[in-house]
Amino acid sequence: MDQPTEPKLTKRLHGALKAARALHRLCDQKIGWGRIGFAVSFTIIAIAAYVLFNILRGIEFREVGQALISASKRDIMLAALFVAGGYFTLTFYDLFALRSIGRSEVPYRIAALGGFTSYSVGHNVGASVFSGGAVRYRVYSAWGLNAVEVAKLCFIAGLTFWLGNATVLGLGIAYAPEGASAINQLPAWVNRILAIVTLAVLALYVLWVWSGRRVIGRDGWQVALPGGPLTLLQIGIGIVDLTFCAFAMYMLLPDEPHIGFVMLAVIFVSATLLGFASHAPGGIGVFDAAMLVALWQYDKEDLLAGLLLFRLLYYIVPFALSLLILGLREAALGVRVARSRSSLDPPP
């Protein structure tokens, strides 16, 4: 008697998995993920530069200056408070990560120093994995953390960032898919399906880490993923951070026409992630082009003024403060080392 044939759906799934593995081997062995990442970054920057050039070509910069001068001081102050709230939330990325890797003896003030300075430097310099990681190592090595522990900390903090972004985008696009359509130009129903899939994957991840201890990595680099309740806390931290930042941008938008906060949040987070993917310092050009394209209904001069104010509040001011804080810290450490050496010198 003939054996029953395998269902067509199962065959297709096996075929898809085989194709995915072949594509992964091709990217890993033949092309190289570094080259792919460079190509993606270059493509994003090139497209953003083209779009930004065409948009700015018709802008009256005198009107941009007038919009900056006439901007509401109350709105600027509220935006500054929301930015401060966002950076305050960022300090809990590092505090959470320190507790997750078992270094609970490091106090909050050090976590706040590491979180604020690493993110503000990483935001502005670009390639935040390396620039922010270098700042973190300088801060936490004084408390006995080695390079592997700092790498684990960066991984957990990055996981918090991505979980928060995925949740905000999933919920936001499911509610207002037109916001994503303004950037990726896909139909609203496609974006809504993608959002629902994203939320389903997030739910599966939470269930997975809730069901038992999950350790990833091998050899000398292993990190235990936060469990279910802690993962929900991770997601909450990321949501609060992004909400503060989106509110800051919302306060700097022109008064007319009015758009809902959820739609603005979807556009803002999407534009931020594009800037992050480009590895351009501060996402400059990429973030701005995405916002100008997606918020086409606004007067371009007024919108550009709002984007410049946001860049000043969210990027330049924190970066200057971080450089000042790190400089003062290095000077204090230098004085402390000099005093300790002088106390060890034999008397003449």
pLDDT of 4 reads: 46
Above 70 in pLDDT, residue 37? no
d(CA 184, CA 140): 40
d(CA 207, CA 109): 33
Instruction: Calculate mean pLDDT across residues 89-106.
Output: 92
pLDDT of 138 reads: 87
Average pLDDT, the chain: 81
Percentage with pLDDT > 90 across the chain? 36
Above 50 in pLDDT, residue 185? yes
The residue with greater pLDDT, 150 or 333, is 150
pLDDT of 343 reads: 62
Query: If pLDDT is split at 50, 70 and 90, which confidence band does 102 have?
Result: confident
pTM over the 0.85 mark? no
- H or E element that contains 216: strand 215-218
d(CA 276, CA 278): 5
Query: Between vectors from CA 151 to CA 146 and to CA 157, what angle results, nearest 5°?
Result: 125
Nearest to 165 by CA among 270, 41, 248, 292: 270
Instruction: Calculate mean pLDDT across residues 191-219.
Output: 88
Above 70 in pLDDT, residue 68? yes
pLDDT of 125 reads: 77
Query: If pLDDT is split at 50, 70 and 90, which confidence band does 13 have?
Result: very low
- H or E element that contains 88: helix 73-100
Where are the chain's structural domains? 41-328
Q: What is the pLDDT of residues 261-297, one digit of tens each?
A: 999 999 999 888 887 776 666 677 778 888 888 888 8
Query: If pLDDT is split at 50, 70 and 90, which confidence band does 22 have?
Result: low
**Spacing of C-alpha 55 from chain mean position:** 26
pLDDT of 70 reads: 86
Above 60 in pLDDT, residue 257? yes
Above 70 in pLDDT, residue 237? yes
Q: What is the pLDDT of residues 38-55, one digit of tens each?
A: 465 556 556 555 555 555
Query: If pLDDT is split at 50, 70 and 90, which confidence band does 233 have?
Result: very high
Asked which of 36-50, 130-144, 326-340 is least confident by mean pLDDT, the reply is 36-50
Three-state secondary structure call for residue 253: coil
pLDDT of 299 reads: 85
Asked which of 141-150, 251-260, 318-327, 337-346 is least confident by mean pLDDT, the reply is 337-346
Query: Which 8-state DSSP code applies to residue 101?
Result: T
Token pair listed for 309: 């104010």
pLDDT of 9 reads: 47
Query: If pLDDT is split at 50, 70 and 90, which confidence band does 135 have?
Result: confident
The residue with greater pLDDT, 14 or 321, is 321
Three-state secondary structure call for residue 329: helix
Above 60 in pLDDT, residue 186? yes
